[in-house]
Amino acid sequence: MKYTTLASALAIGLMSISTAHADMKNIELRVGDSLPPDHIISRNLTQPWIEAVKEMSNGKIDIKYYPAEQAGKARDMLSLTQTGVLDIGYVGPAYVADKMPLSGVAELPGLFTSSCQVTNAYWSMAQEGGYFYEKEFKPNKIRPLFIAALPPYQVVIGNDKSISKLADFAGLKIRAAGGAQELTLRMIDMVPVKMAPPEIYESMSRGTIDGTLLPFISIDSYKLSPLAKTATRGANFGTVIVTYSISERKWKSLPKDVQDILSQAGDQVTTQACEQFDTSEQTVMNDLKTAGVKFVDFDANDKARLNAVIDKVAMDWAAKLDERNRPGTETLKAFNEALSKTN
């Protein structure tokens, strides 16, 4: 689905909002992120939200979009949003783990089975008054307008090594996003390498790394399809949570009709983007198979070993936060409860 089609569908579904705010004053908002414009998140989440807001406000809310770190690095998006350099910024908890450590629970491996399951669980807890809102967003003086969580990450290998079981991955250098992903790889004898996503293609093509952790739908975003030779299937090496958040100061300065449009467009794109991610994940997997990518399906013994590692990673994550007087165990329990209520 093209993002313009999705945006139009959102606008049609909420047409009454635009007519109700015909007298709205013109306003400009600056949105920034670190993603290339053709990234799966930009195409299915960010750009549809921008188009929906524009249509719902009859063009009176003008969004200036600064993708691909034009406004600053991913790790700086929180401070850029807090200080007003950006009105709405791409705040990924993994990039600001010191400021939003509890949100990392949603990125742990093995807890969920789809983009929509983890998205809906996190989104329910990030709403005003919710667990993450009160403990992470409110203290940082921001509020999420829309979010995304990608489907479960898989190991994608770019060399010709014969791989058919978990032990065959031992020693391979794999790009990871950090945190729980790094710990998981180490515990199954892989070597995690931390690098920015734009560096993955060159590193894989040169053999600097053997592969990367990504959902299948992100492979084309980084031009990796020609490099992919082998990939896991049906595993779950975690995900990455993405929030587009506005500073509380900016939010309070906006008229109520503007707030309503931003929020309702955000609710809609959050729901529809995760559905698109899940549908596309299966489609891309089939395309990769047709292109000759070999898939590794773990047997019962390998699944048991991987599940044991995943359980330990979650418990270690919670225990380390508890040691820092942060509610790690409480957060893990709360998030699992939220997951159990999603479809």
Confidence of residue 9 (pLDDT cuts 50, 70, 90): low
Cα 36 from Cα 205, distance rounded (Å): 20
- Contact residues for 201 (Cβ-Cβ < 8 A; gap 6+): 222, 223, 224, 227
Give me the pLDDT at residue 152, please.
97
CATH class given for the domain over 154-238+291-340: alpha beta
What is the rounded average pLDDT of the residues 72-80?
95
pLDDT in tens, 236-256: 999 999 999 999 999 999 999
Angle, helix 47-56 to helix 3-13, in steps of 10 degrees: 40
Question: 55, 114 in Cβ contact below 8 A?
Answer: no
Domain ranges across the chain: 3-98+115-149+242-281, 154-238+291-340
Confidence of residue 179 (pLDDT cuts 50, 70, 90): confident
What is the rounded average pLDDT of the residues 280-295?
97
- Of the candidates 49, 71, 70, the one whose C-alpha atom is nearest the C-alpha of residue 61 is 49
- Contact residues for 107 (Cβ-Cβ < 8 A; gap 6+): 93, 94, 177, 179, 180, 181, 238, 239, 240, 241
Confidence of residue 20 (pLDDT cuts 50, 70, 90): low
Question: 37, 268 in Cβ contact below 8 A?
Answer: no
| pTM for the full predicted model | 0.92
* Kind and range of the H or E run holding 212: strand 211-214
What's the DSSP call for residue 58?
T
pLDDT in tens, 198-216: 899 999 999 999 999 999 9
Q: List Cβ<8 Å contacts ≥24 apart for 249-253.
A: 249/84, 249/141, 250/84, 250/87, 251/143
For the domain with range 3-98+115-149+242-281, which CATH number is right: 3.30.420.40, 2.40.30.10, 3.40.50.12160, 3.40.190.170? 3.40.190.170
* pLDDT for 150 beyond 90: yes
- % of the chain beyond a pLDDT of 70: 93
Confidence of residue 4 (pLDDT cuts 50, 70, 90): very low
Cα 9 from Cα 195, distance rounded (Å): 37
* pLDDT for 25 beyond 90: no
